[in-house]
Structure 1
Amino acid sequence: MTLNKRTLGTILIFAFPVCLYQMFNIIWIDKQIAKLLYFLILTFVIIYVFPNLFRIKKHSKYEVPLRFLFITMWISIACAFLFWGQDVILSYRSSATYFGIVFFFLLMKEKPDVTVVEKLIWFYCIVFILLWLYGMHKAPQIIYAIDAETTMDNSRGIFRLALPGRGFLILGFFVAVSKYIETKKTKWAVLFSILFVFIIFQVTRQIIIFSFLVSAIYILRKSKVALFVLFLGAIFILFSDSFIKVNDDSIIGKMINLSTEQASSQSTGDKNIRLLEYEYFLTHYSKNIITDIFGNGVPHFTSSYGLKEINIREQFSYFMSDVGYAEIFVRFGISGILLYIIIFTRAAFQRVDKEYMYAKLFVIYLAMANVTASWVFQDVLPLCICLYVLERCNLQNRFIEK
């Protein structure tokens, strides 16, 4: 049986996510084998799509900025070598998950129909939910972890699992919202309600707040009264912890109390800890003007550059993962920041049919949520999928106009 290019492309598209997520961090799967599988498929995909990387498509919205972002990542590896003394191989290994953006070029090369892409979204959304349910069933036994010595956190009223792939849950939620607005069928309303419950169970405030706001504004966009009520409700919830008593034993109660504690404790003087993190990483981290422009690269924990970042965590309790746009700047410089701004701006202002609106909603959600965490890197695959859908819509509309 021969493997034709079309079949190979489909296999790569469906296999790439599970490899990037390193077999979902399942504890009994050898971590070195999981990493090796991803390095192999990543290297193969880069070689596989390389001839297409430099073919300029006329009227493309996202290929060009993503191509320059890909090049910037390689330049940042050179910067890590020249200015931090980090070995090129170590930089490639530490940058592997960031290079997940090649998934976009794999999709552009294979050109799968949007229905196939949506099957991919639902497949990984369902896989994530099933794995999450299994992990919760086994809790507090550790099922998903990078480190076998990891302990499970339940400070927010429910166990938090170190399970990657959450972005597909959120993207599935936006697909259901988009399908409901398009078809007005009750089944989609029921589905997005169920998916939002699972989003709440992730007990991560940024994704709960921003996924709710983006979807609610889209659903209620034609009703000014409803939007006004939504705005008042958001203000009420924001300040309600000061005059409403919530049961400490509930998930919502623990999250509100934790937010209140962090608001009072995560501050130094007049500044919140995230503002201090942004200030430090934007002004005190980079080596010189070249690393300001092209980035410092991604540190490997075994190099002296990696030890610097570990020292920052231990000395100041500053975490790059808390400040998404600062991490883009540190890793890939002003160039990276500008390229992501171009991508997000083009997506936000692109006219999209209702049936594909989920792609636009997810990108807007990601741009907002990335302020308080590095979601553009954690959710690189759902982002690539959405940009592929938006690119197809853009090119199809251009063709129709002609």
Structure 2
Amino acid sequence: MMVTEHKQRLQGIMIFLLVILSLNFFFARFVTTSMLKNICYAYMLGAIMLSIPRSFKVGNGFVLPVQLISVSVLLSIFLAQISWKQDLTYFTSTIPYLLWIVFFYLLHIRFPIAKLEKITFFYGWVYILLFMYQYTHSHVVYFGFREEFAEDRGVIRILFPGAGVFLLAYYIALNKVMDKIKYRWVFALFILCGIVVTVLQVTKQSIAILLLITIFHLLRTVSVGKKVLVMILAGAAIYGTLNSNNPISRGIIESQRDNVQQGNQNIRILASEYFVNDFSPNLLSRIFGNGYPNLKSNYGKFITILEDNYGYFLTDVGIVGMYAMFGILPIIAYVIIFYRGLRMQVPPEYQYLKYYLFNLLATCLTSDSIFSISFILTNVFVLYSLQVLKEQKQSTTLMKV
């Protein structure tokens, strides 16, 4: 018994450390520019090697989609060499994208969902605190890869790395704030802080989705009349805020006006057309992807030219960017994930899993949330939790029969 408890404790510590190390301590400059980065990558590689022997399994639910994504990332290492002559020694750049395989390690050890919630919620608070510190010290870049934070949309815009744990923690808090528990105020405080952090990052889509899901969740058990009243009040509040002439609202309105005026010349549309039609040098890469570009290779330098000269960013075109790097297999995988995940019935206390999945779907064309290092591990946590719930339901059904 003591041995089992000790083993479970070690597994918990391993997953806890994997989150922060996979994020390079939220891509802190003191990590990404030092030997500490090598330690982070070595730890991730160790977790991947530990998970690979457990990945050769047959199962329904989300097993096949995760296998498809994992295989596509692994193949992309060789495709980058075949299609772009990127040296195989640059495979280390792909290590964080192979963390999808950790899904199978979690299944193997049957890691408790409750522990994943606690780990995620802890790092959600860390994200908020570090964001606020960076926001109030914006003259120096402590986290991320920008050389400086410039004024954009009326404010100093800081898109803080590691948003996956923040979003998942927010939806966990939203789910639990309705429960009659002792520390309910902690979840309420997180929700308030989460809304503030999201607004300060001035991303229209993120603000809209977060508020939409929040209102939906808080109103799902009230009468139709109260729902209509709250929606009217919320609409009036949003309208009043957007017309309040403060820097943030002016920035959001100006950004939206620019997008409308660009029409078919919108940079995301142009970039998507290029990456789908003209980017891949051969049929093999059109099917299985071009691989992840290491910035030191000629392939990576070409990507930098596309970004600097044309404004074509793989991270700005969502699922198209994923297709360009990893091919058609992860696209098929995500179709299965969204179809099965959003149709799946889950207990009320796990509704946050579907909120997170809906957020991925809503942003899959305009952000890198479906493949970003900042999101991969929380994407894995969500799919693992859904898989466990699905298997528990199937087991219960069989027992009744």
If the length of structure 2 is used for normalisation, what is the TM-score?
0.87
Q: How does 1:102-117 map to 2 (within 5 A)?
A: 102-117=101-116
1:294-345 deviations in Å (ceiling 9; x for gaps): 1111111122222221222233221111110111110111111111111121
Distance 1:254 1:106 in 2: 44
TM-superposed CA distance for 1:40, in Å, is: 0.4
Aligned to 1:291: 285
AA of the residue aligned to 2:390: N
The residue that corresponds to 2:385 in the other structure is: 389
Q: Percent identity?
A: 26
Q: Is the 8 A contact 1:173 1:196 kept in 2?
A: no
Q: Which structure 2 residues correspond to residues 335-346 of structure 1 after superposition, within 5 A?
A: 335-346=329-340
Q: 1:400 aligns with which of 368, 377, 396?
A: 396
Structure 1 range deviating more: 288-297 or 3-12: 3-12
Out of 319, 326, 333, the residue aligned to residue 327 of structure 2 is: 333
Could you tell me which amino acid in structure 1 is paired with residue 291 of structure 2? Answer: G
Contact preservation (8 Å) 1:61, 1:391: yes
1:198 offset after TM fit, Å?
2.2
Q: What corresponds to 1:192 in structure 2?
A: 191
Q: CA deviation at 1:256?
A: 2.0
Unaligned runs of 5+ in 2: none
Comparing 348-357 with 158-167, which one deviates more in the overlay? Answer: 158-167
Q: CA deviation at 1:216?
A: 2.7
Question: Which string of whole-angstrom CA distances, capped at 9 and with x for unpartnered residues, describes residues 119-157 of structure 1?
Answer: 11111001111111222232323222436xx11123234
| CA displacement, residues 52-81 of structure 1 (integer Å, 9 cap, x when unaligned) | 111334xx3112210121111111222111
The residue correspondences of 1:35-114 to structure 2 (distance < 5 A) are 35-57=37-59, 60-90=60-90, 92-114=91-113
Aligned runs of 1:1-400 on 2, under 5 Å?
Answer: 5-29=7-31, 31-57=33-59, 60-90=60-90, 92-146=91-145, 150-161=147-158, 163-181=160-178, 183=180, 187=185, 188-189=187-188, 191-221=190-220, 245-247=243-245, 249-264=246-261, 267=262, 270-378=264-372, 379-400=375-396
> Structure 1's 237 and 4: CA in aligned 2 closer, same or farther, altered over 3 A?
closer
**Contact 1:152–1:160 (Cα < 8 Å) also in 2:** yes
SS of match in other structure, 1:144? coil
CA distance in 2, matches of 1:27, 1:120: 23
3-state SS of the aligned residue for 1:97? helix
Matched-pair contact (CA < 8 Å) for 1:295–1:334: yes
Amino acid at match of 2:97: Y
Of stretches 32-41 and 185-194 in structure 1, the one that deviates more from structure 2 is 185-194
Q: How many residues align?
A: 389
Q: Tell me by how many angstroms 1:203 deviates.
A: 2.0
Q: Offset at 1:395?
A: 0.9
Relative to structure 1, the CA distance from residue 245 to residue 4 in structure 2 (aligned partners, 3 Å threshold; closer, same or farther) is closer
Q: Distance in 2 between matches of 1:263 and 1:225?
A: 35
Counterparts in 2 of 1:326 and 1:231: CA distance versus 1, 3 Å: farther
Contact 1:19–1:34, Cα closer than 8 Å, also in 2:
no
Q: Which range moved further: 178-187 or 19-28? A: 178-187
Q: Is the 8 A contact 2:44 2:96 kept in 1?
A: no
**Cα RMSD between the aligned structures?**
2.9
* Contact 1:13 1:106 survives alignment (8 Å): no
The structure 1 segments of at least 4 consecutive aligned residues displaced by more than 4 Å after TM superposition are 2-5, 181-186, 188-191, 221-238
